[in-house]
Amino acid sequence: MACIEARGLRKAFGATIAVDGIDLRVEEGRILGLIGPNGAGKTTALNAILGLTPYEGELTVLGRDPWTERDLLMRDVCFIADVAVLPRWIRASEALDYLEGVHPRFDRTKAEGFLAKTSIGRNSKVRQLSKGMVAQLHLALVMAIDAKLLVLDEPTLGLDILFRKQFYDSLLNDYFDRERTIIVTTHQVEEVQHVLTDLMFIDRGRIVLDCSMEAIEARYLELMVRPEHVGAARARGPIHERQLFGRTIMLFDRADREQLSAMGEVRTPGVADLFVAVMEGHPAGAQGAAS
């Protein structure tokens, strides 16, 4: 069952086309990484999904039109952007009071249980907390809402590596199940690749790669070439080539693992390296979703 489905989704701001007629389908119970450079259209696409901006084309989220049925949709959707959106004057207990009063699916007991695992006091004000602690508070509030879709737009921006790891570990261990769907955008792709089930690259408002993580492992190979085999490896048509510590590293799409293994060390590429390869090999204006 599709949690999100779009056909010909388009959004323009004057002469600037932010989302350029994309088709996408996100199945229920998946964790999708939406990755792209600045200005690629990620946030605009998320805003359309969240009913925050009108759009052209067809779009349904949890079976609803997000622009005309946003009030109903938001009962089943949560959204985290920069954690700085929490009011600096509010106390942790007041944030709990507020959510309990406005959201029918907020479980205060569950939120208090999450906060008990942190050093955040009930009377602590947001302005007294570190950014990492604010992220913990924000995540505790969200995880206590029985939502079907969670959208995270750069949720750990500015946090140190320890808090980033705790954030995603909590997300997996305390929130995610096969009935919930999560979309996350981030520039720290290597840190989230272990939690993703699906990966989507977007560039200039168009989807340039759409794959499950299982398909990526089966499809893409990275080869650290032994010097004497560089020419032979290059003849097999890598989609990207780079140098690291004097060694040549090539990335292949649908190549024979056994044949490549005879030329050097073969491994599955990291998401960041795959992203660079796809972006550098993607001509302006082209669209090539892969599954």
Q: pLDDT digit string (tens) for 1-16?
A: 799 999 999 999 999 9
CATH fold, domain 2-204, is Rossmann fold (3.40.50)
Q: What is the pLDDT of residue 285?
A: 40
Residue 287 has pLDDT above 70, yes or no: no
Q: What is the pLDDT of residue 90?
A: 95
Q: What is the pLDDT of residue 254?
A: 93
Question: Where residue 216 falls among pLDDT bands split at 50, 70, 90?
Answer: very high
Rounded to a whole number of angstroms, the CA Rg of the chain reads: 21
Q: What is the mean pLDDT of residues 141-152?
A: 91
Q: What is the pLDDT of residue 283?
A: 53
Ranking 17-26, 153-162, 190-199 by mean pLDDT, the lowest is 153-162
Give which of 13, 96, 45 is closest to 206, Cα–Cα.
Answer: 45
φ, ψ for residue 212 (rounded to 5)?
A: -75, 155
149-153, strands of its sheet edge to edge: 77-80, 149-153, 181-185, 31-35, 198-203, 206-212
Residue 282 has pLDDT above 80, yes or no: no
Bridge partners, residue 232, by sequence: none
Q: pLDDT digit string (tens) for 108-119?
A: 999 999 899 889
Q: What is the mean pLDDT of residues 76-105?
A: 88
Q: pLDDT digit string (tens) for 38-52?
A: 889 999 999 999 999
Percent of the chain scored above 90 by pLDDT?
Answer: 67
Ranking 104-113, 127-136, 196-205 by mean pLDDT, the lowest is 127-136
Residue 236 has pLDDT above 70, yes or no: yes
Q: What is the pLDDT of residue 159?
A: 75
Q: Where are the domains of the chain?
A: 2-204, 218-280
Give the separation between CA 255 and CA 196, rounded to whole angstroms: 24
Q: For the chain, what is the mean pLDDT?
A: 89
Q: What is the pLDDT of residue 187?
A: 80
Give the separation between CA 72 and CA 244, rounded to whole angstroms: 52
Q: What is the pLDDT of residue 284?
A: 47
Query: Which two structure tokens, joined as six digits, stand for 105?
Result: 């699916």
Query: Using an 8 Å Cβ cutoff, are 266 and 185 in contact?
Result: no
